[in-house]
Chain A
Amino acid sequence: MNTIILKTASKYLLPLLLLFSIFVLLRGHYLPGGGFVGGLIAAIAFVLHAFANGLENTQQLMRIHPGFLMPVGLLISAISGMAPMLLNKPFMTGLWKSDPVPVIGSLGSALFFDIGVYLVVIGATLTILFTISETR
């Protein structure tokens, strides 16, 4: 698509939407939101950018193939699930830091699990969309 408005807007919208997606990810434990929705929003941000500026530009911006986010996300989720086992607790037991951290709030293994979900969702969605639009 070749509209100057969308092109200009998408440049500002991409970081804003990404920030928003992280915000949605972080607030998920108390208010509506979470890794899944956050990931989808981030994916939409990139798709919007790709629509306005062309797929090649977005891919250049991302540097890595979005597919690599999937194993990274899976690994983070798996590790956060396994971590309690080192303390002899069952798989997926929530671990929490006793004092809250500024900005993020209280920190627990569930957050890392959600970050993993977030990355996998971005990776999977973008892999599918980019692959389909690349194929001629």
Chain B
Amino acid sequence: MENTVGYIPFLLLGILLYTSVLTFPSVRSNGFRSRFSPLVPIVSFFYFLFGFDGSVQTTTVWDHSLLPISITFQIDGLSRLFALLITGIGSLIFIYANGYMKGAKYVQRLQCFLLLFMLAMLGVVLSDDLILLFIFWELTSISSFFLIGFKNEDEASRQSALQAITITGMGGLIMLGGFIILGEIAGTYSISSMSSPEIISQITSHGWFVPMLILILVGAFTKSAQFPFHFWLPGAMKAPTPVSAYLHSATMVKAGVYLLARFSPVLGDTPVWNIALISFGGVTMVYAAFQSLFRTDMKSILAYTTVSALGIMVFLLGLQSSDAIAAVSLFILVHALYKASFFMLAGTIDHETGTRDISQLGGLGKVMMPLFAIGILAAWSNGGIPPSVGFLGKDLIYESTLHHPAWAYVFTGLSVGTNIMLFAAGLLVGWLPFRGTRSHPSVTLPHWSLWVPALLLALLGMIFGLFPSIINNGLINPVADAIAGTEQNIHLKLWHGFNTVFYLSLITMGVGFLLYNLIRPGAKLLSFIESAEHWGPKRILHALANEFVGVSSWITMTLQNGKLRIYLLVILGFLVSLLGYVVLSDTNFVIDKEQLTNITIYEGITVGILFISVFLTLFSGSRLAAVAAMGVVGYTLCIIFVFYSAPDLAMTQFTIDTLTVILFVLVLYRLPRFIRLDFSARHILDGIVAISVGALMTVISLEVLQRTPEREISDFYALNAYVMAKGKNVVNVILVDFRGADTMIEIVVLTIAAIGVYSLLKLRLRKNEKME
């Protein structure tokens, strides 16, 4: 296959561009532009579907020559499966969201955040560099914060969004620590180059291996909502349903699983890895499945089953046998398919009836036949009933637990138990609301966009189950290769004959069905089970979070209390104490008189003017005069630049000074009359700080002259400006060519500053938005 990987940076950039187009307020009637948004994920989906076949391809956009950081994208089987899920399910979610949010305000804003989130997720699964991966990882946390808190007028919604970003953000930060240790002991930040046997043994035998692994695992566990960090995920159900469907079926929460799978060849199969993943995954899958049984809110049930499914994946990655890897490769796909359809189903029912409470819903099957079909198909796959693809997935899970050398009985028991509970929970969502007497007589079948996407996904679950060869070689096997790090040989088959696994499946279905008939969640059971959550880890983390907020607001109020004077004092004080320490400990304060040139008359006059204007700035009685005098200080500096042949600098300084004076005048114009107050301690403190900054700068400038400077860099620029960049003005060549990337970033900063000023000054808060 030809090399299509080179287009990935352009694809990501294209998505970003489209996202920024969406941020402009729409001129036409509401949502004209938003109708085209599904095209973005659809195009991306086909790119990933036909552009790649699961072989490993890499492209480097930018490589820093000194730091071990690069912008490198790599796609292999694992990345491709995730990219397909992100864009494929994304396409359907976008169509669904357009139907779901029809007529609502801010459709465009929702799509903006969704696209940004999709971009971040694609970045996570395609990055080959640890730092790049981390950046995208944090971007998923940030964009999901906006998505979860989308109903920003609802306090509970904001609370959940904060909770989610606190947990995942904290985890991400801890993970960064792990990444840096990993990069340092591996000697490379490129994930693909870590998989050579020498580097793996170098990593695993290193003394820092265990701390590093723990840090990375914390990052993955918080993102993938593993016990005891799981509670942010059910909380995140406050988001609009299309968001939940997207974030919790295929993307956000799977990022942690992706990370574990990605590092499995490097860090996997070590005692700490296996114990941590098996125990945390095991506890999570059983605990969350149990919790899901007693919920009455459909989305809440789905949230806990999602946590449980993530537990299963983590658990399987901990087993590390080739059966387990095959199981997790397939289960990622299976879960994404049925969970996304479940979520969309719950959203549509909520949208049409106004409630998601299963104890109040009933008999919807008669009027919403297609929705009923979705419910049945998704519950089918979720329950692992043949011939769905869920059956294949569950088969492989049992296969891998049964073949565990030491703990086969325990692990099999746990996973059968989990699957029984998940089976029952699936029926509660996919079956119960459609049976019995009709609760909402006036409800009819909604617009196609509210059910066709979910039906498609649910049908795919059945098709893949009946014809597993469609996904076997092209999709699943390359995933297993990537997770194992070696060639795997998977043969997905629907029928394995009457063996232990098949009997276990029968037990799961039978007991699951019994359990479903026994259990009818209601308010009483719910309050009982919620008290368990209340006293759990949520409480401890809440207390910690409160402390954290307290300390950080104290620091903020002390160092950044909104007074310009304090800001300057803090910044300059830091500068003086840090720089001063370094400079003073290593300076001998000798001025080499030989090097000094004679002072010319022009220089003497200029410096004279400089002194006078500094004096005027300090002691003048009017602000305007002080500002004008300060402008003169700037101009005399320009003249000195001219004397010492730095015309570029002089020109820029000259214009900057002019603008600064104008700016000052504009601001000062509004201030009350200038009154000179008594000479106070504050003035003395300001004077001390000002003098020490000035003294420090003087010492540094003199010291620079004393040291024999490293001329290599400036020589390089001077020599190569014309040869390599065809320019004679070295300064400008450095700006636009040699260090062009720096300039690029600088103009971005400039733009941000301008937008900041604009939005601060134009900000008009409504009364209820103002802080007391």
- Whole-angstrom distance from the CB of A21 to the nearest CB of chain B? 10
- Whole-angstrom distance from the CB of B141 to the nearest CB of chain A? 25
Question: Hey, what's the 0/1 contact readout for A33-70 against B, CB within 8 Å counting as 1?
Answer: 11111001101100100000000000000000001001
> How many of chain A's residues have a CB under 8 angstroms from any CB in B?
52
Tell which of B435-443, B523-531, B730-738 binds the partner. Answer: B730-738
Q: Is there a chain A Cβ closer than 8 Å to B729's Cβ? A: yes
B666→A133 contact, CB < 8 A: yes
B666→A132 contact, CB < 8 A: yes
Q: Is there a chain B Cβ closer than 8 Å to A22's Cβ? A: no
Question: Hey, what's the 0/1 contact readout for B702-730 against A, CB within 8 Å counting as 1?
Answer: 00000000000000000000001111110
B666: chain A residues at CB < 8 Å are: 129, 132-133
A92→B741 contact, CB < 8 A: yes
Q: Is there a chain B Cβ closer than 8 Å to A131's Cβ? A: yes
A30→B61 contact, CB < 8 A: no
B648→A32 contact, CB < 8 A: yes
* Given A92-B740, A113-B736, A132-B761; A33-B729 close (CB under 8 Å): yes
Q: Is the interface of A mostly helix, strand, loop or mixed?
A: helix
* Given A44-B658, A116-B747; A34-B754 close (CB under 8 Å): no
A77→B744 contact, CB < 8 A: yes
Question: Hey, what's the 0/1 contact readout for B51-95 against A, CB within 8 Å counting as 1?
Answer: 000000000011100000000000000000000000000000000
Residue of B13, B658, B663, B732 touching A128 (CB-CB under 8 A): B663
Assembly CA distance A34 to B743 (angstroms): 12
Q: Is there a chain B Cβ closer than 8 Å to A10's Cβ? A: no
A37→B743 contact, CB < 8 A: no
- Whole-angstrom distance from the CB of A43 to the nearest CB of chain B? 7
How extensive is the interface on chain B, given as a class? Answer: 35 or more
- Among A81, A131, A134, max chain B CB count under 10 A is at A131
Assembly CA distance A39 to B23 (angstroms): 27
B651→A33 contact, CB < 8 A: yes
Q: Is there a chain A Cβ closer than 8 Å to B581's Cβ? A: no
B744: chain A residues at CB < 8 Å are: 77-78, 81, 92, 113
Assembly CA distance A35 to B372 (angstroms): 64
Q: Is there a chain A Cβ closer than 8 Å to B369's Cβ? A: no
- Among B735, B747, B753, max chain A CB count under 10 A is at B747
A73: chain B residues at CB < 8 Å are: 747
* Given A90-B62, A127-B757; A85-B9 close (CB under 8 Å): yes
Residue of B63, B658, B731, B757 touching A131 (CB-CB under 8 A): B757
B728→A30 contact, CB < 8 A: yes
* Given A70-B754, A114-B736, A124-B753; A41-B655 close (CB under 8 Å): yes
A47→B61 contact, CB < 8 A: no
Complex: chain B residue closest to A121, CB-CB: B750
- Among B651, B663, B736, max chain A CB count under 10 A is at B736
Residue of B648, B727, B747, B757 touching A37 (CB-CB under 8 A): B648
A117→B726 contact, CB < 8 A: no
A117→B736 contact, CB < 8 A: yes
Q: Is there a chain A Cβ closer than 8 Å to B532's Cβ? A: no
Q: Would you list which residues of chain B between 733 and 768 have a CB under 8 Å from chain A? A: 733, 735-737, 740-741, 743-744, 747-748, 750-751, 753-755, 757-758, 761-762
- Whole-angstrom distance from the CB of B51 to the nearest CB of chain A? 17
Assembly CA distance A46 to B20 (angstroms): 28
* Given A106-B726, A120-B751, A132-B667; A113-B662 close (CB under 8 Å): no
Sorted nearest first, the 5 A-B pairs with minimum C-beta distance are A40-B655, A124-B754, A32-B647, A29-B727, A120-B747
14 contacts between A and B (CB under 8 A): A29-B727, A31-B728, A32-B729, A81-B741, A81-B744, A92-B737, A106-B726, A110-B725, A117-B747, A120-B751, A121-B747, A128-B663, A129-B663, A132-B663
Given contacts A33-B651, A128-B758, 11 further A-B contacts (CB under 8 A): A29-B733, A31-B728, A32-B651, A67-B754, A94-B724, A110-B737, A114-B732, A120-B751, A121-B750, A124-B753, A131-B761
